[in-house]
């Protein structure tokens, strides 16, 4: 189950308190249960994968081909379909559902979502340029980026040149985000710190790709409590 991911919705931020009085800022995500719509075998497409369905959608909003697809699979229509490559397909069966339980023994996750859109922005805001001089002949163009090209050769502006343009509203991945706690009854996941995107942003969460040696908040607090008890024993 570590190969697949779940989709959720960012509700907002709050803080979690520990017995020691320490507080940690957390992002709350409302998770959706995933249903296995299709198990893709290597013989058919050349790779092994699992197609998952998330959310609900009315039949009236489906195309004829999708209506036929869901009728053939004998399952209710889903708003989103996502495909994940897996090593073994034996563990997955069409129609099975799963939710937060797949993150039961996982401490860190990778979170993918769209950043907050900030519209058209200049180079100083978008790329942290210093701008042109305040005086000495510079007029009107104090916040411009300056020269962008060369001479007749190559006679063009290269792709990827840092200039003014649309800022934000791009898919970004935050890696190794700690799971503070999970509420299986209400399908809520509490992640440490902030994640990209505004409220109600769609979030894709999966097991962290990088295996890092990092202490969780609970482990840090336990280590602090042990350290406090050691000097007391020495005094006796």
- Residue boundaries of the structural domains of the chain: 5-140+163-235
Phi, psi of 86 (to 5 degrees): -130, 160
Residue 16, pLDDT above cutoff 90: yes
Cβ-in-10-Å burial (0-12, 13-18, 19+) of 53 comes to buried
Residue 193, pLDDT above cutoff 80: yes
The confidence score (pLDDT) of residue 1 equals 62
| Integer Cα distance of 144 and 161 in angstroms | 14
Strands (E), 59-101: 80-85, 97-98
Residue 235, pLDDT above cutoff 60: no
Strands (E), the chain: 5-17, 23-31, 34-40, 49-54, 80-85, 97-98, 108-114, 119-121, 165-167, 171-183, 188-192, 202-207
Q: Which two tokens stand for residue 214?
A: 């990092």
Q: State the number of CA atoms in the 13 A half-sphere of 128 facing the CB.
A: 0
Residue 236, pLDDT above cutoff 70: no
| Integer Cα distance of 47 and 66 in angstroms | 23
Residue 220, pLDDT above cutoff 90: no
CA distances (Å), origin 180, targets 17, 106, 131, 219: 11, 11, 42, 11
Angle in degrees, CA 35, 42, 100, rounded to 5 = 25
More confident residue, 93 or 233: 93
Residue 154, pLDDT above cutoff 70: yes
pLDDT per position as a tens digit, 22-31: 899 999 999 9
Residue 121, pLDDT above cutoff 80: yes
Read off the pLDDT of each residue in 50-68 and give the average, rounded to a whole number: 91
The structure's pTM equals 0.85
3-class DSSP state for residue 205?
strand
Count of all residues that appear for the chain in the document: 236
Read off the pLDDT of each residue in 164-176 and give the average, rounded to a whole number: 95
pLDDT-wise least confident of 21-25, 122-126, 170-174: 21-25
3-class DSSP state for residue 14?
strand
Residue 100: which of 216, 210, 191, 226 has the closest Cα? 191
Mean pLDDT of the chain: 90
The confidence score (pLDDT) of residue 229 equals 78
The confidence score (pLDDT) of residue 200 equals 93
3-class DSSP state for residue 63?
coil
38 in Cβ contact with 63 (< 8 Å): no
């Amino acid at each position: 189950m570590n190969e697949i991911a779940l989709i959720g919705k960012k509700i907002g931020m709050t803080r979690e308190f520990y017995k020691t009085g320490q507080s940690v800022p957390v992002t709350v995500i409302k998770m959706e249960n995933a249903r296995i719509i299709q198990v893709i075998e290597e013989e058919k497409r050349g790779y092994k994968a699992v197609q998952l369905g998330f959310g609900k959608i009315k039949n009236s909003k489906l195309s004829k081909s999708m209506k036929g697809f869901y009728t053939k699979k004998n399952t209710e229509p889903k708003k989103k379909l996502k495909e994940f490559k897996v090593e073994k397909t034996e563990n997955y069966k069409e129609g099975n559902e799963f939710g937060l339980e797949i993150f039961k023994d996982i401490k860190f996750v990778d979170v993918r979502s769209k950043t907050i859109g900030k519209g058209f922005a200049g180079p100083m805001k978008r790329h942290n340029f210093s701008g042109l001089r305040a005086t000495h002949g510079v007029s009107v163009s104090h916040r411009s980026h300056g020269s962008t090209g060369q001479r007749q050769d190559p006679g063009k502006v290269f792709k990827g040149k840092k200039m003014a343009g649309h800022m934000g509203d791009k898919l970004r991945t935050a890696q190794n985000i700690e799971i503070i706690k999970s509420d299986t009854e209400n399908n809520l996941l509490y992640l440490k710190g902030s994640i990209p995107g505004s409220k109600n942003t769609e979030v894709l969460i999966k097991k962290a790709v990088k295996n890092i040696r990092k202490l969780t908040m609970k482990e840090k607090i336990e280590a602090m409590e042990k350290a406090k008890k050691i000097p007391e024993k020495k005094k006796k």
